[in-house]
């Protein structure tokens, strides 16, 4: 780095990138920096600040200009380190100059142009380089062209995501959100989830509010990874407070929100229900898409229910005093797809389809499944419904309440079905079945007329 005695700049990692880009945009290389008397000092740890090497680097600099986002944490530490320094006083600027004129904001993030403006303002006119002229050129180039807004897409559950069903709330009740994929329930009013908390605090907002509310009870969504991390502590607090709350522990067998990593530690539904009982939760239910697999594996006090009965289970538990719990067990849909590719998860020998020739466009499939793969299909006749993917709901059977399941050849893999789906313009039938959903349709999926 260059050493000079006029201006030293001091910054932290994210701001360092903005600074280097600003210098590049202004055409300031090593030779120009030396001519300006500009040195750069990058700090790796902003708190506590190692002030001794910084002051040694600064030497007799006239000014230390600090570039850091948000509050001036580093700037204030530098001022404190310089306070009792003998000899002349070095100016420290960053969030404002010596006259308290604002320079760099304390809110939002920086841009290279924002840093370039603040930097140029620290130099007097008439120096060895006309920085002001370069800044005008930079501002003019930044204003060229129209910024086209990027299409907005709200986050939504994956096709076949168990949270499509597990986050539903009975009429007359509300739910609390938390950290995990299920937080997307906040953007869907029909799921009646209006609040959320930090990781491990799920439910504590209600523990504090319950004594002052006329609401008798709420449900609280809690991911299995968060439960393992720190969520159990919130359940303990709710038990100790005697709060009327039902925790819905959403066991999807993966840290789905960040890519499907396994949750750390030995975590399984049977261990969770046993731990809940040991902590003092008297009413515990397990809800699953395959309840038969849990026969004889759980404590006798824990009843097992199919996911189709979730509403009835919730209506029953909201009348229970104190803390109760539902463990909703269904594997993450994206994780199912990954495991099937490795041959590590069963691949059912049936697929679900909506036949556009039969569909009446009532929309009940969307209501029942809440699945993003169900889309409207414009036709020459009234709009009907189809699927954007042949593997409806990721082979979970989530839409079985409204679609007819057609058998396929035993052992046929998903990739074969996908290839058949892509060949629909040729009117190919589903392999192993007499059912051809594309018969009577044109190559773009519209009904043939006349």
The secondary structure of 120-176 as a DSSP string is HTTS-TTSSS-HHHHHHHHHHHHT-SPPPPPPP----PPTT-THHHHT---TT--EE
Residue 395's pLDDT is 42
Contact 159, 371 (CB under 8 A): yes
pTM surpassing 0.85? Answer: no
Alpha carbon distance 165, 160 (integer Å)? 9
Domains of the chain (ranges, CATH numbers) = 7-142 (3.40.1360), 163-335 (3.40.50.970), 347-426 (no CATH)
Residue 316's pLDDT is 97
**Residue 233, phi then psi, degrees to nearest 5:** -65, -35
H helices present in 221-332, as ranges = 224-226, 232-241, 269-279, 310-317
Contact 397, 352 (CB under 8 A): yes
Contact 80, 48 (CB under 8 A): no
Alpha carbon distance 168, 190 (integer Å)? 8
Give the rounded distance of the alpha carbon of 280 from its chain centre. 32
Strands 323-329 and 245-251: parallel
Q: How many CB atoms lie within 10 A of CB 156?
A: 14
Strands of 175-293, DSSP E? 175-176, 193-195, 218-223, 245-251, 283-288
Residue 79's pLDDT is 84
Burial of 86 (0-12, 13-18, 19+ CB in 10 A): exposed
Contact 222, 198 (CB under 8 A): no
**Cα Dmax for the chain:** 96
Burial of 56 (0-12, 13-18, 19+ CB in 10 A): exposed
Q: How many CB atoms lie within 10 A of CB 430?
A: 23
Alpha carbon distance 104, 70 (integer Å)? 9
Alpha carbon distance 214, 277 (integer Å)? 28
End-to-end CA distance of the chain: 78
Angle between helices 131-142 and 112-120 (to 10 degrees): 160
**Residue 250, phi then psi, degrees to nearest 5:** -90, 95
Q: Which of the residues in the chain have pLDDT under 50?
A: 1-5, 388-450
Burial of 317 (0-12, 13-18, 19+ CB in 10 A): buried
CA 55, 57, 61, 63 dihedral sign is negative
Residue 409's pLDDT is 44
Residue 143's pLDDT is 67
Contact 207, 249 (CB under 8 A): no
Q: Provide CB contacts within 8 A for 293, sequence distance 6+.
A: none
Own/partner pairs for 268-272, CB < 8 Å, 24+ apart? 269/294, 269/327, 269/329, 270/294, 270/297, 270/298, 272/224, 272/227, 272/327
Contact 112, 25 (CB under 8 A): yes
Burial 416-426 (b: 16+ CB within 10 A, else e): ebeebbeebee
pLDDT digits (tens, 9 = 90+) for 199-218: 999 999 999 999 999 999 99
3-state secondary structure of 376: strand
Residue 7's pLDDT is 53
Residue 19's pLDDT is 86
pLDDT digits (tens, 9 = 90+) for 155-173: 889 888 999 899 999 999 9
Of 361, 433, 421, give the one whose Cα is nearest residue 388.
Answer: 421
Residue 12's pLDDT is 58
Residue 356's pLDDT is 78
Residue 248's pLDDT is 98
Length of the chain: 450
């Amino acid at each position: 780095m260059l050493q000079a005695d006029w201006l030293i700049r001091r910054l932290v990692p994210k701001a360092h990138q903005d600074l280097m880009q600003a210098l590049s945009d202004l055409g300031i290389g090593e030779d120009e920096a030396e001519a300006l008397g500009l040195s750069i000092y990058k700090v790796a740890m902003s708190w506590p600040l190692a002030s001794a090497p910084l002051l040694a680097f600064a030497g007799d600099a006239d000014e230390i200009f600090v570039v850091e986002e948000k509050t001036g944490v580093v700037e204030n530490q530098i001022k404190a380190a310089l306070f009792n320094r003998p000899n002349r006083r070095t100016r420290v600027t960053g969030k404002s100059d010596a006259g308290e004129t604002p320079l760099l904001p304390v809110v939002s993030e920086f841009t290279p142009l924002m840093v370039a403006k603040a930097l140029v303002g620290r130099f007097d006119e008439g120096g060895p380089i006309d920085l002001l002229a370069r800044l005008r050129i930079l501002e003019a180039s930044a204003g060229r062209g129209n910024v086209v807004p990027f299409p907005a897409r709200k986050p939504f559950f994956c096709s076949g995501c168990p949270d499509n069903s597990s986050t539903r709330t009975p009429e007359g009740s509300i739910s609390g959100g938390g950290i995990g994929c299920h937080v997307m329930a906040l953007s869907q009013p029909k799921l009646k989830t209006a609040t959320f908390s930090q990781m491990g605090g799920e439910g504590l907002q209600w523990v504090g509010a319950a004594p002052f509310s006329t609401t008798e009870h709420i449900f609280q969504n809690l991911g299995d990874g968060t439960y393992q991390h720190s969520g159990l502590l919130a359940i303990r607090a709710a038990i100790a407070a005697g709060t009327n709350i039902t925790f819905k522990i959403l066991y999807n067998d993966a840290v789905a929100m960040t890519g499907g990593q396994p949750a750390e530690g030995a975590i399984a539904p049977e261990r969770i229900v046993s731990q809940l009982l040991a902590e003092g939760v008297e009413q515990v239910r397990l809800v699953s898409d395959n309840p038969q697999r849990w026969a004889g594996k759980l404590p006798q006090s824990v009843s097992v229910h199919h996911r189709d009965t979730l509403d009835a289970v919730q209506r029953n538990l909201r009348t229970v005093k104190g803390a109760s719990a539902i463990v909703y067990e269904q594997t993450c849909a994206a994780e199912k797809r990954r495991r099937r590719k490795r041959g590590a998860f069963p691949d059912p020998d049936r697929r679900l389809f909506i036949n556009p020739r039969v569909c009446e466009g009532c929309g009940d499939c969307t209501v029942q499944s809440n699945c993003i793969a169900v889309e409207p299909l414009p036709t020459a006749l009234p709009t009907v419904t189809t699927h954007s993917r042949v593997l409806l709901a990721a082979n979970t059977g989530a839409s079985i309440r409204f679609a007819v399941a057609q058998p396929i050849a035993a052992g046929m893999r998903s990739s074969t079905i996908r290839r058949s789906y892509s060949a629909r313009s040729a009117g190919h039938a589903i392999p192993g079945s007499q059912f051809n959903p594309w018969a009577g349709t044109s190559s773009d999926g519209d009904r043939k007329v006349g």
